[in-house]
Structures are given as structure tokens and as C-alpha cells.
């Protein structure tokens, strides 16, 4: 599903250049439940943003479902992102003036799905995350764990092949974190490829495979 070869990425300004990824090789098979674990500043978010086609890389190759993700036009990038990727963030990124069900159906609105189907699908995924009865609530009326569940439902509503989550439990307490990880596990068991970024070993341990990143390189031997 994901194949990375010698990926390099630097953040450059006029006067400075910070080399963040220093030759990343990685294969993620379809249906894997994996985590990328490393300390703060090791390059996890940079790597995940490249995987999610939210950012570009300088050199190397990234193949997603057999397609080389390089020199894409805005339109192509959006196409691959929409077709393949669901993204979950540490801070949920919900719209506070929209209800849970409205937040979940928003990606379908942008795809011009009609209102009835939008609502049906959003309710289906809210039910999957255990929040059917909270559909009419605003994010501010939900706990952190519930807000993250809404965000996960939103990431699933477009039926992506790959779910990428950047520190999805970073804003949650231990118990809630494990509940959210249980949800990712369930989503993986339903056939999705799920990749979690975390700096916490306890969280990484929930996944089937831990990929360690340190200072822009991957440490663990990369079995396929």
C-alpha cells in the first residue's frame, strides 16, 4: 500500500536549511496496523504529512497503491488524498459551530454528495464510533475522547483505504487514549490500513508493528 525509498526532506528558508528526514525506507502492506514511534522533533509529523500528501518531499520515492507521488499538480494531489487517505489530528480539528453529524458529513458536502446520503453515511460512521446518540451535539458539548471519535468518524466517512493519525491520543487521558486505540484496532479489523504516530510506547504497543524513528531515520529492521 505504501512504499518509501530513501525519502529526504528539509525545511528551508532563505538563510537556513533543517534536514528533517534523512533517507526513510519503509513498506506498509495493505491491512497493517502499525505505529511510528519517536521522540519529539524526530520527524514523525513531517513523515506522516508526506504520506498523507499534505506536504512534498525533496528526494527519494513514495509509491501509494503503486502510484509514484511526485511532482503532482494540486488537482492530482487532491485526487489521491481524497481517494486513499483519511487523516486524524491530535487536536481533533472539528468545527465548533457545527454539530457532530454535520462535522462528519462535511467531507461529503465538499464532494457534492446529496444531503440525504450525506446524513445516512455520517450517522452510520457516528454509530460505528459509538456516538449515534450524540449526533446533534456541538464539539464543545463533548468530552475530548468523544471529539476525537467524531474526528475519526469524519476521517472514515469518505471510506479511505489508509487511515493516518498524528498523535491522536496526545490530548487525552490514559483511559480515554486506550479506548480511542481500541477504536483504531476495530477499524483495522474491518480491513483498513491504519498508521498511528506517537511518542508514547504504551500507545504504540497497541499496534501490531512498531516502527521507530530517530533523528530522521528509521531504527527498527524493516520486515515486510
| Residues of this chain that bind Mg ion (CB under 5 A) | 44-45
Best CA proximity match to 77, nearest among 44, 55, 107? 55
Residue 41 binding partner per list ligand ADP, Mg ion, none, with a CB distance cut-off of 5 to 8 Å that depends on partner kind = ligand ADP
Q: Greatest CA separation found in the chain?
A: 53
Distance of alpha carbon 143 from alpha carbon 71, whole angstroms = 41
Query: Residue 198 is placed in which grid cell?
Result: 506517537
- Please enumerate in sequence order all residues whose Cβ is within 8 A of that of 25, keeping only pairs 6 or more positions apart, or say none: 4, 5, 6, 7, 218, 222
Residue 42 binding partner per list Mg ion, ligand ADP, none, with a CB distance cut-off of 5 to 8 Å that depends on partner kind = ligand ADP
Residue 73 binding partner per list Mg ion, ligand ADP, none, with a CB distance cut-off of 5 to 8 Å that depends on partner kind = none
What's CA 63's distance to the chain center, in Å? 17
For ligand ADP, the binding residue among 43, 52, 107, 139 (CB under 6 A) is 43
Contact 195, 35 (CB under 8 A): yes
For ligand ADP, the binding residue among 2, 34, 44, 158 (CB under 6 A) is 44
For ligand ADP, the binding residue among 24, 28, 33, 45 (CB under 6 A) is 45
In the complex with ligand ADP, the residue whose CB is nearer, 1 or 54, is 54
Best CA proximity match to 51, nearest among 80, 74, 30? 80
Residue 136 binding partner per list ligand ADP, Mg ion, none, with a CB distance cut-off of 5 to 8 Å that depends on partner kind = none
In the complex with Mg ion, the residue whose CB is nearer, 11 or 109, is 11
Mask: binding to ligand ADP, 131-160, rule CB under 6 A, as x and -? ------------------------------
Contact 85, 65 (CB under 8 A): no
Query: Residue 194 is placed in which grid cell?
Result: 491504519
Mask: binding to ligand ADP, 12-41, rule CB under 6 A, as x and -? ------x-x-----------------x-xx
β-bridge partners, 86: 163
For ligand ADP, the binding residue among 46, 90, 155, 207 (CB under 6 A) is 46
DSSP 8-state secondary structure symbol assigned to residue 134: G
- What residues line the site for ligand ADP (CB under 6 A)? 11, 18, 20, 38, 40-46
Amino acid at each position: 500500500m505504501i512504499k518509501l525509498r530513501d525519502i529526504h526532506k528539509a525545511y528551508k528558508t532563505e538563510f537556513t536549511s533543517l534536514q528533517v528526514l534523512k533517507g526513510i525506507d519503509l513498506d506498509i502492506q495493505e491491512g497493517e496496523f502499525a505505529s511510528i514511534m519517536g521522540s519529539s522533533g524526530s520527524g514523525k509529523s513531517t513523515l506522516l504529512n508526506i504520506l498523507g500528501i499534505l506536504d512534498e518531499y525533496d528526494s527519494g520515492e513514495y509509491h501509494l497503491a503503486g502510484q509514484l507521488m511526485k511532482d503532482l499538480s494540486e488537482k492530482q494531489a487532491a485526487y489521491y488524498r481524497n481517494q486513499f487517505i483519511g487523516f486524524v489530528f491530535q487536536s481533533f480539528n472539528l468545527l465548533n459551530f457545527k454539530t457532530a453529524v454535520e462535522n462528519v458529513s462535511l467531507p461529503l458536502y465538499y464532494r457534492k454528495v446529496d444531503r440525504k446520503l450525506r446524513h445516512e453515511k455520517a450517522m452510520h460512521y457516528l454509530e460505528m464510533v459509538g456516538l449515534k446518540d450524540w449526533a446533534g451535539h456541538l464539539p464543545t458539548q463533548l468530552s475530548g475522547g468523544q471529539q476525537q471519535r467524531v474526528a475519526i468518524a469524519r476521517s472514515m466517512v469518505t471510506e479511505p483505504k489508509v487511515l493516518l493519525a498524528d498523535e491522536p491520543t496526545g490530548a487525552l487521558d490514559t483511559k480515554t487514549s486506550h479506548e480511542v486505540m481500541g477504536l483504531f484496532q476495530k477499524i483495522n479489523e474491518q480491513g483498513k490500513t491504519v498508521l498511528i504516530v506517537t511518542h508514547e510506547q504504551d500507545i504504540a504497543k497497541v499496534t501490531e508493528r512498531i516502527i521507530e524513528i530517530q533523528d530522521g531515520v528509521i531504527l527498527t529492521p524493516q520486515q515486510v
